[in-house]
């Protein structure tokens, strides 16, 4: 079976682009959390659901052989896991003035 660009539908490209945007939407969130040390508005339930969803996505990508998707889902999994660890770490350590000072 020969690969041609005509076989790729617009819907498939749109879905893949949406997945990529969803994956990288954590990057600004992580940078804001690292800058402000504020995580109280990010519920653990949301992070847990994203963690479960990324695990399901990875499983499906492996089972079906979607290796391009697998790379994106692994990045998604890594970002969600990192965000969970940062949130846990910041919430168990006391907040200092320098962590909340916007001039810092």
Is 84 domain-assigned?
yes
Per-residue model confidence (pLDDT) at position 24: 84
Domain containing 89 equals 10-97
Q: Distances from the Cα of 101 to the Cαs of 37, 83, 88, 98, in angstroms?
A: 10, 22, 21, 5
Sequence-ordered alpha helix ranges (H) in 1-104: 10-24, 26-36, 44-64, 67-92, 97-100
Is 3 domain-assigned?
no
How far is residue 11's CA from residue 79's CA, in Å, rounded to a whole number? 26
Is 4 domain-assigned?
no
CATH number reported for the structural domain that contains residue 61 in this entry: 1.20.1280
DSSP per position, 42-59: S-HHHHHHHHHHHHHHHH
The tens-digit pLDDT sequence of the chain (104 residues) is: 565 555 667 777 777 788 888 888 888 888 898 898 888 888 999 999 999 999 998 999 999 988 888 998 999 999 999 999 999 998 887 766 555 555 55
Is 68 domain-assigned?
yes
Kindly report the pTM of this predicted structure: 0.72
Is 83 domain-assigned?
yes
Is 77 domain-assigned?
yes
Question: Number of folded domains in the chain?
Answer: 1
Per-residue model confidence (pLDDT) at position 62: 93
Per-residue model confidence (pLDDT) at position 58: 92
């Amino acid at each position: 079976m020969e690969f041609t660009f005509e076989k790729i539908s617009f819907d498939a490209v749109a879905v893949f682009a949406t997945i990529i945007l969803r994956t990288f939407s954590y990057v600004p969130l992580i940078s804001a959390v690292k800058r402000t040390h504020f995580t109280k508005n990010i519920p653990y339930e949301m992070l847990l659901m994203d963690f479960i969803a990324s695990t399901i996505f990875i499983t499906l990508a492996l089972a079906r052989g979607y290796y391009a998707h697998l790379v994106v889902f692994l990045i998604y999994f890594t970002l969600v896991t990192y965000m969970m660890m940062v949130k846990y770490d910041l919430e168990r350590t006391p907040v200092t003035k320098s962590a909340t000072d916007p001039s810092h």
